[in-house]
Amino acid sequence: MKRLLGVLVMLAPLCAWAQRSDDAPIPYDDDDEVPAQVHRRAPRRPREQVREEDEEDTAYAERTGRKDDPNVGLSGEFVAGAMLLESSRGALVDPQFMVGVRVTWEFGRLMSDEFLREMFFADIGWQYTATQDGTAAVHADTSLHYFTVAPAVAWRFGQSPVAAFAQLGLGFNSTSSVLRVNNAPMDLSGVKFLFQYGLGLRFRPAIVSVKGKDVLRLSFRIEVTRFLREYMSDTFLGGSLGLTF
């Protein structure tokens, strides 16, 4: 028994040394090392090449952005409201009903910038009103036609379909009158240069959308517009209703 214990005592250091030898790290072959060329940096492109590629990407984005918008920005609207004609009888105004039509082109859509695309538009409009003045013996029936071309600048409220706008325009006023003196008619007519300016709110909610793009919009406005025809000044209070394609 004593001999067996002595043998075990002698073998214990040998087992500890063998276990320590097994814990040593296993060496790897040099063939498994990462190639040096992997750590090399990619060659730098010339600045001119980078600039040309950026310009090509920008031009491509502009072309595709215009193609992705199915709405061409053309509107047709019916106009109605009150026309406050400057009175020739010394009164403040002569209120009359006015009707008309107009075509709107959103020429801002020619631009690539999304903010500017929604900012600019122009109206081509015709509006009509009539008035009567005089006594039983002498009176006149007058018709007034307003023809204008008016560009405008709009400020959209965030992503909503509502925008405030300011407008300036030029055109002409065609006035025709039938003056009756003791029932004897006399025709009078004339054309005057016209200057227009105004403010308002423009609403364009979508009513038809395809793949998230607005194809058809409802277009209506609330506006105040002044028409200056030589020394006369008329004010329109009203609005319009139509469709934008």
pLDDT at 27: 57
Six token digits for residue 163: 């925008």
Return the structure tokens found at 128. 């009509």
Tell me what pLDDT residue 182 has: 81
CA dist 63 → 60, 112, 233 (Å): 5, 8, 45
Classify residue 55: in a domain, yes or no. no
Which position has the token pair 């008035």? Answer: 131
For residue 166, pLDDT over 80 is answered with: yes
Structural domain tally of the chain?
1
Alpha-carbon Rg for the chain, nearest whole angstrom, is 41
Would 159 be classed as within a structural domain?
Answer: yes
Q: Under a CB-based contact definition with an 8 Å cutoff, are residues 192 and 219 in contact?
A: no
The domain containing residue 83 runs over which residues?
A: 75-244
Residue 100 lies inside a defined structural domain of this protein: yes
Q: What's the CATH code of the domain at 160? A: 2.40.160.20
Q: What is the pLDDT of residues 68-127, one digit of tens each?
A: 555 788 999 999 999 999 876 666 889 999 999 999 999 998 988 888 888 999 999 999
In a domain, 181, yes or no: yes
DSSP assignment of 201-224 equals: EEE--EEEEETTEEEEEEEEEEEE
Domain membership flag for residue 198: yes
pLDDT at 157: 94
Rounded Cα–Cα distance for residues 8 and 187 (Å): 141
pLDDT computed for residue 132 by the predictor: 87
The count of C-alpha atoms lying within 13 angstroms of the C-alpha of 35, restricted to the half-sphere facing its C-beta, is 3
Is residue 137 domain-resident?
Answer: yes
Nearest-angstrom CA–CA distance, 142 and 95: 14
In order of 151, 161, 183, the CA distances from 204 in angstroms are 18, 5, 50
pLDDT tens digits along 213-236: 778 899 999 999 999 998 889 999
- Asked if residue 51 is part of any domain, the answer here is no
- Is 145 within a domain? yes
